[in-house]
A and B are shown apart, each in its own frame.
Chain A
Amino acid sequence: GQQVMQIPQYQHVQEGEDFTTYCNSSTTLSNIQWYKQRPGGHPVFLIQLVKSGEVKKQKRLTFQFGEAKKNSSLHITATQTTDVGTYFCAGSYSSASKIIFGSGTRLSIRP
């Protein structure tokens, strides 16, 4: 079936270090979204990638969508304590269909 795999499950970094989480789908995606969830909170939409090979930046966050539209990554440069949370990728196989979430990467930061 359609699955979105995400690694790593946990990442513990020193403040100022970089962080990357990766997602991979078994089949080609229509689009992929990234969400951040703080403990006790709801998933907050960060960005959506649609085009093959697309790269988007939001300040220290860089999002990539693979050429085959099967994988994606989120990279945070110089992490800050405010970056703490769980980052989920979520893939969609057609425009209005369900989102399939990855298992998330929980980011914790040592000050």
Chain B
Amino acid sequence: EPEVTQTPSHQVTQMGQEVILRCVPISNHLYFYWYRQILGQKVEFLVSFYNNEISEKSEIFDDQFSVERPDGSNFTLKIRSTKLEDSAMYFCASMGAIDSNQPQHFGDGTRLSIL
């Protein structure tokens, strides 16, 4: 079964540095999402992306964050000038089409640790 893949599985970064989290969505999917989960808390929506532009973003997704689909396969989340509170699991998800029977498929996540 096709999967959403995320790299790296674990990223350790010094506070203030930039990080790029990578995702390869399922190949024929059109809708892409980033979520994050702070340890012990619920999964929170960050941003959705369709047709090469952001379709929706949450309050968390401020100017520190950006997303990009640089080629036909990768979907990246960039966090500039990381802060301690950015430490979390970051999940990428993708969905095939506008169809109420289509679920979002999640990757295994990237654990981001800011020191």
Top-9 shortest CB links A-B: A98-B45, A101-B43, A103-B42, A42-B109, A101-B42, A95-B100, A96-B98, A95-B98, A42-B108
Do the beta carbons of B100 and A33 come within 8 Å of each other?
no
Do the beta carbons of A99 and B56 come within 8 Å of each other?
no
Among residues of A, the one whose C-beta sits closest to the C-beta of B33 is A98
Q: List 22 A-B contacts (CB under 8 A).
A: A30-B100, A31-B100, A42-B89, A43-B43, A43-B91, A45-B103, A45-B105, A45-B106, A50-B101, A95-B99, A95-B100, A96-B98, A97-B48, A97-B56, A98-B45, A98-B58, A99-B35, A99-B43, A99-B45, A99-B93, A99-B104, A101-B44
Q: How far is the CA of A101 from the CA of B108 in the complex (A)?
A: 17
Give how many B residues have a beta carbon under 8 Å from the other chain's beta carbons: 29
A88: interface (CB < 8 Å): yes
Complex interface bits, B5-41 against A, C-beta within 8 A gives 1, otherwise 0: 0000000000000000000000000010101000001
Interface bin, chain A: 20 to 34
**Residues of chain A from 52 to 88 with CB closer than 8 A to chain B in the complex:** 88
Do the beta carbons of B100 and A98 come within 8 Å of each other?
no
The distance from the CB of A69 to the nearest CB of chain B, in whole angstroms, is: 11
Do the beta carbons of B101 and A48 come within 8 Å of each other?
yes
Complex interface bits, B86-100 against A, C-beta within 8 A gives 1, otherwise 0: 000101010100111
